[in-house]
Amino acid sequence: MPRILIMNAGTPQMSGAHLTKAQRSLAASSAYRSAWFAQEGDLIVSPVVIPADLLSFIGATLDFDASSLRLVVPASRQSTILDDCTLLSQPVVERLKRHIRQKSAWRLYPCYFTEGVARLAAKLGISKTGDDFALQRGPDLLNRKSHFRQLATSVALPLPHGCVATDPNGLFKAVTALKSETGRVIVKLDNGAGGVGNVILTGSKSDPLPGARDTRMISWPSLDPDALYSEITTASCKTLVVESYHLARSLFYLEYAIQDDASIGFINSGNIRLRKSTDRSERALTWTGLELPSDLENEQWLTAQEHAYRFVALARDLGYRGMINIDAIFTKDGRLLFNEANGRWGGGSVLHNIAIRLLGFDYSSRNVILSVRNVRSPSFQAAHDRFFKEGFLFDRTRKAGVIPLAADEEAGTVECVVIAPDRTAAHDQQHRLLSS
């Protein structure tokens, strides 16, 4: 059955009403990256035009006819996000109706199942289990940090000590109560995706720590809750989550799919990889990519799965259908703590999709999949030509090599996926990509 891929990453439901320039750029590059979900005959609704050479390369790599794909891009848009207003605009709906008349059965495959996606489904005559939940903005429950704490507590997920704050006074009380546990507190914006709204407060000097845009040494008595609250909150989001911050030995995620028949399928798990910036003034770690499968010990993996499944089952029972991923850590002292959930495509979704189509569903028993961001290259084609010339390009016979995923020509970088037989080989290939 052909699908309508809706690339609505970076919507207000995910990141708030006022996106930064960096968030808008990520939303655009996410559309290029998400084109790797495409299958024969799919219809892609994207906030940006996806280059023809990228679509052709995707088809050639994944062995389907890319000319069968159809692309719908809003003719007039004021931003690089596919929000509900744009998605439901008459020109977009009419163009979609014209396309889907050519075939009798379609299904929607959105990044984020918003109210607008559910209304679009009704306009197109495409029914889906979970539409009623989405019409009431139910998936928003699974993309807010405050709601995550509330829902996770109800199924006894292990969480860092913390609470929800909705004003400066609540923020001050929370920080004061939590600072003594580890000497570090993280303050999170309720709907800030990718850690952009988070600040870590520490009473001692510290290098940048994972999970925040800033790691800030303060003198606790001098904390100004009004200034901090004003700095982190936005016009559309006045809710913060405050938690004790724990140093992590392992940072990982678990991803699941809740099907229309209410069955739950485990999709993949991976390590979240970060590094220090070469700019010493930078107060955040640089996200370098993901590594599938995660390198958790078997007992750790089973424990994390047992807990995470309870949360996913709760999401299913609430009425949610679709992809859902959960972030967690094992602390330095071995404790499992969950951080947040996201009811949408996750960072590893595209990597998993590529891996199963090239290697089979059991790839994780034989291969390591590594995403590598910020590989220097002036264009997608230049990266492809370089990898071919140097013998890096993925080879179907060897079932190993490098695949360029998407280019950010403004930044002069390309994101790549490395497919290797083991972690050592994958890391060696990453080093070659980044050092030349």
- Residue 352: per-residue pLDDT: 97
Q: Specify the DSSP class assigned to residue 10.
A: T
3-state secondary structure of 277: coil
Other C-beta atoms closer than 10 Å to the C-beta of 207 total 9
Question: Distance between CA 368 and CA 353 in Å, rounded?
Answer: 14
Structure tokens at 348: 């590893």
- Residue 218: per-residue pLDDT: 93
Q: Cβ contacts of residue 175 below 8 Å, gap of 6+?
A: 185, 187, 201, 220, 223, 225, 242
- Residue 236: per-residue pLDDT: 85
Burial class (CB in 10 A: 0-12, 13-18, 19+), 119: middle
3-state secondary structure of 28: helix
Structure tokens at 12: 């207000």
| pTM over 0.85, yes/no | yes
Helix axes of 380-389 and 52-62: crossing angle, nearest 10 degrees: 40
What is the block-wise mean pLDDT of the chain (436 residues), using blocks of 10 residues?
89 55 63 95 94 95 96 73 91 92 84 94 88 94 95 97 97 97 96 77 92 92 95 92 97 96 96 81 79 96 97 97 96 96 94 97 95 92 93 94 91 94 96 86
- Write down the number of H helices and E strands in the chain: 14, 17
- Residue 81: per-residue pLDDT: 79
Decide: 35 and 56 in contact? Cβ < 8 Å.
no
User: Could you tell me the CA-to-CA distances from 30 to 11, 24, 89, 170, 281 in Å, in that order?
Assistant: 12, 10, 22, 36, 27
Q: Specify the DSSP class assigned to residue 406.
A: E
- Residue 10: per-residue pLDDT: 72
- Residue 146: per-residue pLDDT: 96
Burial class (CB in 10 A: 0-12, 13-18, 19+), 98: exposed
Decide: 283 and 207 in contact? Cβ < 8 Å.
no
Q: Model confidence over 317-341: pLDDT tens digits?
A: 999 999 999 999 999 999 999 999 9
Other C-beta atoms closer than 10 Å to the C-beta of 153 total 10
Q: Residue 412: left (phi > 0), alpha (psi -120 to 50), or beta? A: left
Nearest to 11 by CA among 81, 89, 79, 108: 81
Question: Distance between CA 384 and CA 370 in Å, rounded?
Answer: 17
- Residue 425: per-residue pLDDT: 96
Instruction: Tell me the residue type at 427.
Output: H
Q: Model confidence over 272-303: pLDDT tens digits?
A: 998 887 766 677 777 788 999 999 999 999 99
